[in-house]
Chains A and B, each alone.
Chain A
Amino acid sequence: DAGITQSPRHKVTETGTPVTLRCHQTENHRYMYWYRQDPGHGLRLIHYSYGVKDTDKGEVSDGYSVSRSKTEDFLLTLESATSSQTSVYFCASARNADTQYFGPGTRLTVL
Chain B
Amino acid sequence: EDKVVQSPLSLVVHEGDTVTLNCSYEVTNFRSLLWYKQEKKAPTFLFMLTSSGIEKKSGRLSSILDKKELFSILNITATQTGDSAIYLCAVEETSGSRLTFGEGTQLTVNP
A98 close to B42 (CB less than 8 A) = no
B92 close to A97 (CB less than 8 A) = yes
Q: Is A44 an interface residue (CB 8 A)?
A: yes
Pick the contact of A97 from B45, B98, B103 — CB < 8 Å? Answer: B98
* Bound-state Cα–Cα, A50 to B95, Å: 13
Main secondary structure of the interface of B (DSSP, over half): strand
A41 close to B98 (CB less than 8 A) = no
Minimum CB–CB distance for B60 against chain A, Å: 21
Minimum CB–CB distance for B30 against chain A, Å: 12
B48 close to A98 (CB less than 8 A) = yes
Pick the contact of B31 from A45, A98, A105 — CB < 8 Å? Answer: A98
Pick the contact of A102 from B31, B43, B102 — CB < 8 Å? Answer: B43
Given contacts A40-B103, A42-B88, whether A97 and B96 have CB atoms under 8 Å apart is yes
Q: Is B101 an interface residue (CB 8 A)?
A: yes
Minimum CB–CB distance for A11 against chain B, Å: 16
Q: Is A74 an interface residue (CB 8 A)?
A: no
B34 close to A41 (CB less than 8 A) = no
Given contacts A98-B32, A98-B48, A99-B48, whether A42 and B101 have CB atoms under 8 Å apart is yes
A43 close to B88 (CB less than 8 A) = yes
Q: Which of A29-47 contact B (CB under 8 A)?
A: 31, 33, 35, 40-45
B45 close to A101 (CB less than 8 A) = yes
* B102 (CB) vs chain A CBs: closest residue: A42
Contacts of B92 on A, CB cut-off 8 Å?
Answer: 97-98
Contacts of B6 on A, CB cut-off 8 Å?
Answer: 42
A104 close to B104 (CB less than 8 A) = no
Contacts of B48 on A, CB cut-off 8 Å?
Answer: 98-99
For the complex of A and B, the 5 pairs showing the least CB-CB separation, nearest first, are A102-B42, A97-B97, A42-B103, A43-B101, A50-B97
6 contacting pairs across A/B (C-beta < 8 A): A42-B88, A42-B102, A45-B98, A97-B97, A97-B98, A99-B34
